[in-house]
Amino acid sequence: MTGNSPEGTLRFAIVGENIGYTLSPQIHRAIFRKAGLSAAYEIFDVNHGALASTIHNLMRNYDGFNVTKPYKADVHAMVESLSQEAVRCGNVNTVRGSRGFNTDYTALRNIVGPSIPKASGQQAIILGSGSAAMTSAIALSDLGMSIGIICRNPEAGYSISDRLVDLGFREAEVRDFKSNLPIKGYVAVNAISSGTFEFPAIGCKIAINFNYGERGTNFIKSVNGMTTIITGEQILLEQAIEAERIWLGKRIDVTWEEVNHG
């Protein structure tokens, strides 16, 4: 947990567990520089026992905050109100005041949407069964795709399928990762948080990776064919820009060059 921000400075933060690797502070500080704002962005790396008190503190004393693994579903239940996409996805990654939002959904739609029109009716294969998998399943269903889920916890995979049905979509095809069969679909999404997982061969036209840096390399190495790759860095940057739009009331675009060399 970081120290206090100077008086008069806008205060933002990210909360999660074991998130020392996060690049979110660098991105948000680049946005603050570009906007000419006096603002701080802090990291709250807390265990589950400290989550409720941390969220209460952030909602009361901060101008906004992000939520990352493994607490997106927990915080969904803690906020007082929810945006439409947060209600549908059942998880939250951005909070302003006591209202929760899901900018992962918005980022995915913004990035993938232009590539998908010709893929309507095609299948998206989602690897994983957590919050990122749920958000991906709903966003890609909204774009007209059918969903397949391959995961290590089939019960959680079926929960995503049930949620799709509740929202009026077709049920997902759920498969256990232990089958170790090749993975084929128009879109493949890596929503597994572990960066050390070994993937089977993956054949797809578009590969979407929610992991970034070294944690995302195993998935990319498994992708074959002429594939358009959407990196975890792209998703991270876009969801951060969308979070700042919610907090500041306007969109401020930054590039990774500005983040890394600001």
Q: What is the pLDDT along the chain (262 residues), one digit of tens a residue?
A: 444 555 679 999 999 999 999 999 999 999 999 999 999 999 999 999 999 999 999 999 999 999 999 999 999 999 999 999 999 999 999 999 999 999 999 999 999 888 776 667 889 999 999 999 999 999 999 999 999 999 989 999 999 999 999 999 999 999 988 766 778 899 999 999 765 677 888 899 999 999 887 777 888 888 876 688 999 999 999 999 999 999 999 999 999 999 998 6
Q: What is the pLDDT of residue 3?
A: 44
Q: Looking at the chain, which residues constitute the CATH 3.40.50.720 domain(s)?
A: 107-230
Phi-psi region of 249 (alpha: psi -120 to 50; beta: other; left: phi over 0): left
Tell which CATH architecture fits domain 107-230: 3-Layer(aba) Sandwich (3.40)
User: What pLDDT, on the 0 to 100 scale, is given for residue 222?
Assistant: 86
Q: Both tokens of residue 24?
A: 């979110």
The reply to whether 184 belongs to the active site is: no
Residue 262, pLDDT score: 65
Q: Rounded to an integer, what distance in angstroms lies between the CA atom of residue 156 and that of residue 154?
A: 5
Task: Yes or no: say if 119 and 145 are a contact pair by the CB < 8 Å rule.
Answer: yes
Task: Pick left, alpha or beta for residue 168 (phi over 0 → left; psi -120 to 50 → alpha; otherwise beta).
Answer: left
Q: What is the pLDDT of residue 196?
A: 63
Which of the following is catalytic: 69, 72, 118, 221?
A: 72
Residue range(s) in the chain whose domain bears CATH number 3.40.50.10860: 10-101+235-261
Structure tokens at 172: 């997902």
Pick the CATH number of 10-101+235-261 from 3.30.360.10, 3.40.50.10860, 3.40.190.170, 3.40.50.720: 3.40.50.10860
CB 58 within 8 A of CB 13: yes
